[in-house]
Amino acid sequence: MSYKPIDFLDERLGTAKFTRKSLNKIFPDHWSFMLGEIAMYSFFILLGTGVFLTLFFVPSSAPTVYHGSYAPLDGHVMSQAYASTLNLSFNVRAGLVMRQMHHWAANVFVAAIVVHLLRVFFTGAFRKPREINWLVGSLLLMLAILEGFLGYSLPDDLISGTGIRIAYSITLSVPVVGSYLASFLFGGQFPGDKIIPRFYTIHILLIPAIMAGLLGAHLAIMWHQKHTQYKGRGRTEKNVVGIAFWPAYAMQAGGFFFLTASVIAALGGLVQINPIWMYGPYIPYKVSYAVQPDWYMGWLDGALRLFPSWEIVGFGHMIPTIFFPAVLLPGITFGLLMAWPWIERRFTKDSQSHNLLENPRDNPWRTSIGVGVMAFYMVLFFASSTDVLANTFNLTLNFVLWAFRILVFVIPPIAAFVAYQLAKEARSVPLAGTPRKAMVIFRSPGGEYTTEESEPRSELVLKHSVFHGEEPLPLPEEARIHGQEVQTPVLEEERFVFSAPSAVAVVSEEIGERPSGGSGVYRIPRGAPGAGGGLFSPRGPRPASDGEDSEDEE
Amino acid sequence: MSSSTPELKQSQDKERLIKVSERRFERVVGVSFLLSFLATVGLGVVYWQGGQTQVEGALLFIALGGLGFGIVSWGKYLVPQGPYVQEREELQSPESEREAFVESLERGANQIQRRSFLVKMLGAAVGAFGIITLFPFIRSLGPQPKKMLYVTNWKKGSALVKADGTKVRATDLEVGGVLTVFPDGHPGGAISQTILIRPSFQDIVTKPGRETWGPQGYLAYSKVCTHAGCPVGLYQELTQQLLCPCHQSLFDVMTGANPVFGPAPRPLPQLPLYIDSQGYLRAQAGYDEPIGPGFWERGA
Amino acid sequence: MKFGKKLGGRVLFPVALGVAASVTGMALFSQGAAAATTPGSSNSSSTNSVTYGGTSGAGKAPITYLKLDPSTIALGKTLFVENCSSCHGDTAAGTSRAPNLQGLGAATIDFWISTGRMPLADPTVQATEKPSRFTRAQELAIDAYVSSLAPGGPAIPQVNLGAASLSAGQGLFSTNCAACHTITGVGDALAGGVYAPSLYPATTTQIAEAVRTGPGNMPRFGTGNLSTQQVADIVKYVKYLQHPNNAGGIGLGHVGPVTEGFVGILIGLGSLMIAGYWIGGRAR
């Protein structure tokens, strides 16, 4: 069989070789590997809805008098940014659902990144050879938070305007260059008329472009290195066991995109987020109580609330108090985050490559440090709503603040200690990590009880799908690589020869062994049971002679 | 094939089960897609009729959810799942290749470095270009701060005006009243915004040296918080305290807006007031210190 | 149909969820959103007692003051002696436990009684809003009695919303009220164990009374600060906030990004993680 486009592309780009390999790529199958996908799909939804919003949003601080359909603001002077956001919410068809989807997607995006990061951290997936991807992912998290803050600021409503005011003060607090930075960023004294257009450019162009690039790199590196996998039956450091990209994984992942979109659409249409019309336009002398940033900035806001009023003054200079919680803390946070793979390596002295993931209980130290750090940021996060908590639980504000100032030091060590003990405990349980067996209790007619072990649970799980085999099995014949190119540059002293295509040796199946260091081959299982036949002939209960299987193949 | 052995019977049973199961999943996927299709049609109709956010959201949920649920079910239950095994390729190149790479790199570098003067020239040219072209991306963005952070629009004799520009009379506020004021000519200013409070009818002395600053019980403080710059607009009348809504710094109005709680490091600067012959409130002078949050150049 | 029970459940669940969601969505929000999405219709919204931006009652005074009936003073005195005098004294002149009420004006008395804050349940904490102990006639009788003891103070305002401007009210509310009561009017905790209460249960008269008399920690807004017209405007906007335009869907209590964050993480990411659990499965 031959398809025109395939021939067209292959003759010009040689794509068939690579794409075939990709189609047959194996992906380990586990729910915790879907977290990054949620983030990626949210990013796509952000791009799509974001493009829609740019068609209606006017990034300008120029004042305008509003005479739109939202009566409570009729006749108000406001920035064009705010007025256009009102119009896009009330007068553009499907505008509000798009805007709310954009905002919900942003909230889900950062949340998914964080949970994905936690999964990677606690399972040790960042270890060699994946440190680079850890860096890329950390950068993505940083940019996502920044991007979220910028987008939140764009509508120029009362709440977000107050946030920009705080951002100005934070910029101002940087030692030595702060006042210059602030003046350059805002084009002079706060508020000026430049910050909204500038935030807009950064929000819709600069950061998304960088993020798209980094996301591409993140995926490409993952693709190239192959995914990590949990320990389990037939899984080694040297193989990948899972479902094939084409069609099972592609369908599951593709379908998951639509599921992500559907959840975000349901939130976007049914649950109100950031009703800027209720907040009114930003006017510098107005302020609302209970101003909080979006959740992913909460830890910074919490730190701002908790940090004591220490200001360092001396030699005619000042380090403002907010420098410590708002500049130093994020600096340390992301610095340590990115350095973690190397920090850990200093202690473990482990220079091995790892493709098998660790169960968090098998590394109590890492787990307890992770839990402790997580607890620290959770406390800061909750501290960002001291006023709301005080109001909700009828406590005094003063009490809540002091409680958090103490808890931020008390909770993390306790959490870390508990995590360490739990991990140790779990590890000491006999047979921990092996497939569990249920004890089935039988009652005889005479009233006697006997117990019997059931089948291991893993096998029960496998029976979930009729197409799921029990032992890892090799790919079908055609999916294996029969020949493999070896590109050994022929090198001679001082003179170099490009290895011309004709020089590419084709190692045929007869060679059997792969040459050391060459690119990998699919294991050739001679006489493997159930192998052979059509595309991905199912294993297990299906009959081996599956000639009628051709329905799927058109 | 031989006649009915128990094994064959079992495998036939299994096959029958699989067939039934497959048909079931096909139906699930089909219904999913159908629902998605119907919801999408509905979405089109709703949109055409003028749109309604909640209906759009619900229909999008069904349309996208049906699609997603169908595709995933198909990919999960109707195509083989393996598990398959694949060997990992060695990421590391063979030693010889790495050595060869270094050699290639060095050979090229040697060829360049032979002309060391040109290398230096190139470095100078590229470096200069890089530094000079950086300027428009930084320096063009805004003015130097200079005195920007030290001055407000308050001057000696500035009348206090409301946000709408009308002047404030000494009779305007009752005891317990609060008002946001600006220097005449700059209503609504972000930096000059000042909060005017009247805790009493009597002159108030908040601190030594401020004997004349609070005529007839009027006190005026910069409304920009010394912590992170939020407007300190929250006046608790009974306790005579100003609370910042952003990070809950608390300032005591009667003692010169000293911070008594929360993260603010310094008191709010106080504006000295007087009442002119026509009964209007005016500023004796501008603020005697920079308002708002701290910055590097600011001494104490 | 031979739907497998398990599978049938799998299909029916999302369908039922979707249908339920869309129906509730339509039922709950069609009113607010209709006003929002159709320009022009907002002027004649009949769902709220507030007329959007309308000035149908223009020409009439924005606030009139209630003239209390002198014949009710006797009844008022009886009620006062029964309910209030143990703290405020028989002639409302105050005791060591409670302040002097003479000369505060009918509006002050009316606010405290009609919002149920007085009589006080527990003298040590901030008076909280609760159902009033009296009928309206009884309340007015007490107001009449106390205000008859000494002249002065504002009378009980009656707001003519028809003569008030909603959009002017938004501007004034955001300047003068939002700093404590929040821009959506839900209220929040202040320093020292007190709080700015939610504005949602307040009546027009109570809002105007509160603005003018500054109960508790609230500042007082006299006529030099806010004109009568401006008070009416604020009242109109607060009444709007009690039934705001929730064009976006469920309002989440109007407390801003805190609840939004929880919904995003728990419902948004949570449901997607459940979906991922279904797709990805567990360790094998």
Q: Give me the interface pTM, i.e. the ipTM.
A: 0.92
User: Which of the residues in chain C have pLDDT under 70?
Assistant: 1-59, 282-284
State the residue for tokens 């500042």: C219
CB of C34 closer than 8 Å to CB of B54: no
Residue of chain A whose Cα is closest to the Cα of C176: A286
CB-CB neighbors (< 8 A) of B297 in chain A: 179, 317-318
CB of B165 closer than 8 Å to CB of B180: no
Beta strand A468-474 pairing with B82-87: parallel
- Write out residues 16-75 of C within 8 Å (CB-CB) of B: 18-19, 21-22, 25-26, 28-30, 33-34, 37-38
- Indicate yes or no: CB of A188 within 8 angstroms of CB of B163: no
End-to-end CA distance of chain A: 12
**Residue A283: both structure tokens together:** 């006017």
Given CB atoms, is A288 within the 8 Å cutoff of chain B? yes
**Residue A502: both structure tokens together:** 């004709």
Length of chain C in terms of residues written: 284
Q: How far is C108 from chain A (nearest CA, A)?
A: 25
- Indicate yes or no: CB of C249 within 8 angstroms of CB of A70: no
Q: How far is CA C234 from CA A82, A185, C239, in A?
A: 22, 37, 9
Please list, in sequence order, all residues whose beta carbon lies within 8 angstroms of the beta carbon of residue A170, skipping any fewer than 6 positions away.
Answer: A322, A326, A327, B228
Q: How far is B116 from chain A (nearest CA, A)?
A: 21
End-to-end CA distance of chain B: 99
3-class SS of residue B134:
helix
In CATH, what is the architecture of C67-155? Answer: Orthogonal Bundle (1.10)
Encode C122-172 in three state secondary structure: CCCCCCCCCCCCCCHHHHHHHHHHHHHHCCCCCCCEEECHHHCCHHHHHHH
Residue of chain A whose Cα is closest to the Cα of B235: A289
Given CB atoms, is C257 within the 8 Å cutoff of chain B? no
Residue C85 CA to residue C78 CA, distance in Å, equals 10
pTM score, two decimals? 0.85
User: How would you label A506-522 residue by residue, b for 16+ Cβ within 10 Å and e otherwise?
Assistant: ebeeeeeebeebbebbb
DSSP per-residue string spanning B18-34:
HHHHHHHHHHHHHHHHH
Q: What is the pLDDT of residue C39?
A: 37
Given CB atoms, is B22 within the 8 Å cutoff of chain C? no
3-class SS of residue B240:
coil
Strand partners, C188: C196
Q: How many CB atoms lie within 10 A of CB A406?
A: 12
CB of B188 closer than 8 Å to CB of A284: yes
Given CB atoms, is B263 within the 8 Å cutoff of chain A? yes
Residue of chain B whose Cα is closest to the Cα of A267: B57
CB-CB neighbors (< 8 A) of A183 in chain B: 142-145, 148
Nearest residue to C105 (alpha-carbon basis) of C204, C202, C213: C213
Q: How far is A136 from chain C (nearest CA, A)?
A: 22
For residue A371, count CB atoms less than 10 angstroms from its CB and return exposed for 0-12, middle for 13-18, buried for 19 or more.
buried
Residue C173 CA to residue C195 CA, distance in Å, equals 18
- Indicate yes or no: CB of B59 within 8 angstroms of CB of C22: yes
Longest dimension (CA), chain A: 93
Question: Residue A205 gets which letter from DSSP?
Answer: I
DSSP per-residue string spanning B148-178:
TTT--S--TTPBEE-TTSPBPBTTSPPTTEE
**Residue B39: both structure tokens together:** 């919801």
Q: How far is CA A450 from CA A447, A453, A454, A456, A460, in A?
A: 10, 10, 13, 19, 22
Count each helix (H run) and each strand (E run) in chain A, helices first: 19, 13
Beta strand B219-222 pairing with B270-271: antiparallel
Given CB atoms, is A541 within the 8 Å cutoff of chain B? yes
Q: What is the pLDDT of residue A227?
A: 92
Q: How many CB pairs under 8 A join B and C?
A: 125
Q: What is the pLDDT of residue A482?
A: 37
Q: How far is B253 from chain C (nearest CA, A)?
A: 13
Helix axes B53-77, A95-122, angle to 10 degrees: 40
Given CB atoms, is A127 within the 8 Å cutoff of chain B? no
CB-CB neighbors (< 8 A) of A298 in chain B: none
Q: How far is CA C38 from CA A88, A275, C246, in A?
A: 13, 18, 14
3-class SS of residue A68:
coil
Q: How confident is the model at residue B82 (pLDDT cuts 50, 70, 90)?
A: confident
Domains, in order of start, for chain A: 4-342 (1.20.810.10), 359-432 (no CATH), 439-553 (no CATH)
Given CB atoms, is C249 within the 8 Å cutoff of chain B? yes
- Indicate yes or no: CB of A90 within 8 angstroms of CB of C36: yes
- Write out residues 22-61 of A within 8 Å (CB-CB) of C: 29-35, 37-38
Given CB atoms, is A189 within the 8 Å cutoff of chain B? yes
Q: What is the pLDDT of residue A472?
A: 60
- Indicate yes or no: CB of C268 within 8 angstroms of CB of A263: yes
End-to-end CA distance of chain C: 34
The domain spans of chain C are 2-36+248-283, 67-155
Given CB atoms, is A354 within the 8 Å cutoff of chain B? no
Q: What is the pLDDT of residue C274?
A: 94
The beta-carbon contacts of C51-57 under 8 Å, at least 24 apart in sequence, are: C51/C161, C51/C162, C51/C166, C52/A71, C52/A72, C52/C166, C52/C240, C53/A71, C53/A72, C53/A74, C53/C165, C53/C166, C53/C167, C54/C162, C55/C162, C55/C163, C55/C165, C56/C162, C57/C160, C57/C161, C57/C162, C57/C163
- Indicate yes or no: CB of A267 within 8 angstroms of CB of C268: yes
Given CB atoms, is B251 within the 8 Å cutoff of chain C? no
| Least confident segment among A352-361, A423-432, B32-41, B208-217 | A423-432
Q: How far is CA C221 from CA A284, B173, B223, C228, in A?
A: 22, 7, 19, 10
Q: What is the pLDDT of residue C68?
A: 86
State the residue for tokens 């329905």: A551
Given CB atoms, is B298 within the 8 Å cutoff of chain A? yes
CB-CB neighbors (< 8 A) of B51 in chain A: 93-94
Given CB atoms, is C216 within the 8 Å cutoff of chain B? yes
Mutate to test the interface with A, among C167, C235, C284 (most CBs of A within 10 A): C284
Q: How many CB atoms lie within 10 A of CB A533?
A: 17
Q: How far is A226 from chain C (nearest CA, A)?
A: 17
E strand spans, chain C: 63-65, 157-159, 188-189, 195-196
Closest CB to A288 among B64, B245, B292: B245
- Indicate yes or no: CB of C256 within 8 angstroms of CB of A230: no
- Indicate yes or no: CB of A38 within 8 angstroms of CB of C269: yes
Mutate to test the interface with B, among A466, A477, A522 (most CBs of B within 10 A): A466
User: Which of the residues in chain A have pLDDT under 50?
Assistant: 457-467, 481-554
Given CB atoms, is A305 within the 8 Å cutoff of chain C? no
Given CB atoms, is B73 within the 8 Å cutoff of chain A? yes
Q: If you average pLDDT over every residue of chain B, what do you get? A: 91
CB-CB neighbors (< 8 A) of C21 in chain A: 266, 270
Given CB atoms, is B261 within the 8 Å cutoff of chain C? yes
Residue of chain A whose Cα is closest to the Cα of B135: A184
Mutate to test the interface with B, among C11, C170, C272 (most CBs of B within 10 A): C11
In this structure, what are the phi and psi dihedrals at residue A319, rounded to the nearest 5 degrees? -105, 105
Average pLDDT over residues B238-253: 92
Q: Kindly tell me if the per-residue pLDDT of B267 is higher than 70.
A: yes
